[in-house]
């Protein structure tokens, strides 16, 4: 494993190899390069005027990750009392927390209000009524539905409303004593299509004007998450996305607005490397199967939704084509197919690159396999 593979930051790779060489920690575990997280945090938002970053905690809620981000002064986007409690335990001020889940549980809402959180997303009349009752006077922003084409993890169907309904929802919130401050959207996670942000900001601009005509002066645009990372394909870079977004915002919206950004994947994704062990090999029909100790249920859930990881294995043997599977007895637990890798021995390490986001946060203890630990390096 001496050569830096194609799909990883060189410094991260060196740190990972050193860590593995110097410890004999039992796999599986997830390494996160804290320096790369730092770099990403300082990069994100740099290209957008008046922007503030709120890390989407669901991408990786490990306490050490949250402490690191807290020390860097980032904001946080949360959706549940569990996420809130983690932030409270490390002393994150309520002004640095927002919630963009348009459907909040009662328990979460009560705790968030108690804690002092004042920014809430919504996309229905029922949520306005819930907020008016439990969080009177709070700041609200409406979730607009926008194109998700070209995103590997589309989110558009679950939440968001069209223009007319959004305008009515802003009015309804005002009528119920809430403070309508802005608009949000999500272009879909792992979005590799710059056009989605253009289309979304355009749509938000139309809604902004419509709201103004009804006497509602908005002041915040929340552009959600979606910044992509490199798995096995090159992606559009953050600078390019932000340049385009900033241009549209500057051209089409008032000068003094606040822009919120809620990156999850882009903050921690490519800083993470899963360290696993090959636990078995088998030939089944024409296929070569490789089994490792992390799988779909204890960390690699996104692999069944279309995320294709890059892998590195410690072996100099001939390259073969593998079906890569996890350790559980469920037939869903197949991570990848047609993976080209040199043949490892059982017991060898297998590394999964760019696996810092949406891995541990999705993991369960299904079939008795424990959730891998996260270690910052
Ligand atoms: C998940 C989520 C995010 C983060 O999305 P990424 O694609 O990981 O950047 C941001 N905002 C909301 C409302 C989300 O649900």
Is 224 near ligand 1, meaning CB less than 6 Å away?
yes
* CATH number 3.40.50.10800 given to 45-262: no
CATH of domain 10-31+269-376: 2.40.37.10
Please indicate whether residue 329 is annotated as part of the active site.
yes
- Residue 262 Cβ < 6 Å to ligand 1: yes
Q: Which of 262, 265, 270 should be mutated for ligand 1, with most atoms under 8 A from CB?
A: 262
pLDDT number for residue 151: 72
Count other Cβ atoms within 10 Å, centred on residue 68. 18
Distance from residue 281's CA to the centre of ligand 1 (Å): 37
58 Cβ closer than 6 Å to some ligand 1 atom: yes
Which atom of ligand 1 has the smallest separation from the CA of 143? Answer: 13
Q: What are phi and psi of 181, to 5 degrees?
A: -110, -20
At 165-208, the pLDDT tens digits run 999 999 999 999 999 999 999 999 999 999 999 999 999 999 99
Ligand 1 close to Cβ of residue 59 (< 6 A): yes
CA distance 211 to 196: 22
Residue among 153, 225, 266, 359 to mutate when testing ligand 1 (max atoms within 8 A of CB): 225
User: What number of helices (H) and strands (E) belong to the chain?
Assistant: 10, 18
The Cα–Cα gap between 149 and 84 comes to 32
Q: What's the rounded Cα separation, in Å, for the pair 75 and 128?
A: 24
Name the residue among 192, 184, 191, 241 with its Cα closest to residue 45.
241
The phi, psi pair for 135, rounded to 5°, reads: -140, 55
Ligand 1 neighbourhood includes 372 CB (under 6 angstroms): no
Residue that has been written with the tokens 């490990």 in this structure: 62
**pLDDT tens track of the chain, all 377 residues?**
556 778 889 999 999 999 999 998 999 999 999 999 999 999 999 999 999 999 999 999 999 999 999 999 999 999 999 999 999 999 999 999 999 999 999 999 999 999 999 999 999 999 999 999 999 999 999 999 998 877 776 666 789 999 999 999 999 999 999 999 999 999 999 999 999 999 999 999 999 999 999 999 999 999 999 999 999 999 999 999 999 999 999 998 999 999 999 999 999 999 999 999 999 999 999 999 999 999 999 999 999 988 999 999 988 899 999 999 999 999 999 999 999 999 999 999 999 999 999 999 999 999 999 999 999 99
Structural domain boundaries of the chain?
A: 10-31+269-376, 45-262
Q: How far apart are the first and last CA of the chain?
A: 18
Q: Are 1 and 347 in contact (CB under 8 A)?
A: no
Residue 40 Cβ < 6 Å to ligand 1: no
Q: Which single residue is written with the structure tokens 């986007």? A: 77
Please identify, by atom number, the ligand 1 atom nearest to the C-alpha of residue 226: 7
Q: What CA–CA distance (Å, rounded) separates 187 from 245? A: 12
3-state DSSP assignment of residue 335: strand
234-155-355-71 Cα dihedral, nearest 10 degrees:
100
Tell me the CA–centroid distance for residue 25 and ligand 1, in Å. Answer: 32
Do 30 and 273 touch, CB atoms closer than 8 A?
yes
Reported as a single tens digit per residue, the pLDDT across 61-107 is 999 999 999 999 999 999 999 999 999 999 999 999 999 999 999 99
CA nearest to 141, candidates 224, 40, 64, 264: 224
Return the pLDDT at 306: 87
Q: Which residue, chain included where needed, has tokens 């190899």? A: 17
Residue keyed to tokens 């907020």: 131
Write down the H helix ranges in 90-232: 106-115, 125-134, 163-175, 194-213
CB–CB of 275/20 below 8 Å? yes
Asked if domains 10-31+269-376 and 45-262 share a fold, the reply is no
- Reading the block at residue 274, the tokens are 């899963």
Distance 183 CA to ligand 1 centre (A): 15
């Amino acid at each position: 494993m001496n050569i830096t593979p194609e799909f990883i930051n060189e410094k991260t790779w060196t740190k990972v190899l050193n860590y593995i060489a110097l410890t004999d920690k039992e796999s599986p575990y997830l390494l996160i390069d804290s320096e790369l997280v730092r770099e990403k945090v300082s990069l994100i938002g740099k290209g957008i005027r008046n922007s503030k970053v709120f890390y989407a905690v669901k991408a990786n809620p490990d306490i050490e990750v949250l402490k690191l981000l807290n020390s860097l002064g980032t904001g946080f986007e949360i959706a549940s009392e569990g996420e809130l409690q983690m932030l409270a335990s490390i002393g994150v001020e309520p002004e640095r927390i927002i919630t963009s889940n348009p459907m909040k549980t009662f328990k979460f809402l009560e705790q968030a209000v108690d804690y002092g959180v004042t920014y809430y997303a919504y996309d229905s009349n029922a949520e306005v009524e819930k907020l008016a009752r439990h969080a009177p006077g709070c700041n609200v922003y409406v979730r607009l539905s926008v194109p998700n084409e070209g995103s590997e993890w589309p989110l558009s169907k679950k939440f968001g409303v069209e223009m007319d309904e959004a305008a009515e929802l802003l009015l309804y919130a005002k009528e119920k004593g809430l403070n309508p401050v802005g608009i949000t959207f999500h272009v879909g996670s792992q979005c590799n299509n710059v056009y989605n942000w253009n289309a979304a900001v355009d749509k938000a601009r139309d809604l902004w004007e419509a709201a103004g005509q009804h006497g509602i002066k908005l002041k915040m645009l929340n552009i959600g998450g979606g910044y992509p990372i490199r798995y096995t394909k090159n992606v559009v870079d953050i600078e390019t996305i932000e340049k385009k977004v900033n241009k549209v915002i500057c051209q089409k919206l008032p000068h003094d607005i606040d822009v919120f950004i809620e990156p999850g994947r882009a903050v921690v994704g490519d800083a993470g490397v899963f360290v696993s062990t090959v636990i078995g090999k088998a030939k089944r029909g024409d296929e070569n199967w490789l089994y490792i100790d992390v799988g779909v249920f204890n960390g690699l859930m996104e692999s069944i939704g279309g995320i294709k990881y890059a892998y590195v294995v410690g072996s100099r043997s001939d390259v073969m084509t593998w079906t890569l599977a996890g350790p559980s007895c469920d037939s869903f637990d197949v991570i990848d197919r047609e993976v080209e890798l040199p043949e490892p021995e059982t017991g060898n390490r297998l590394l999964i690159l760019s696996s810092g986001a949406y891995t541990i946060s999705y993991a369960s203890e299904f079939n008795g396999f424990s959730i891998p630990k996260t270690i910052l390096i």
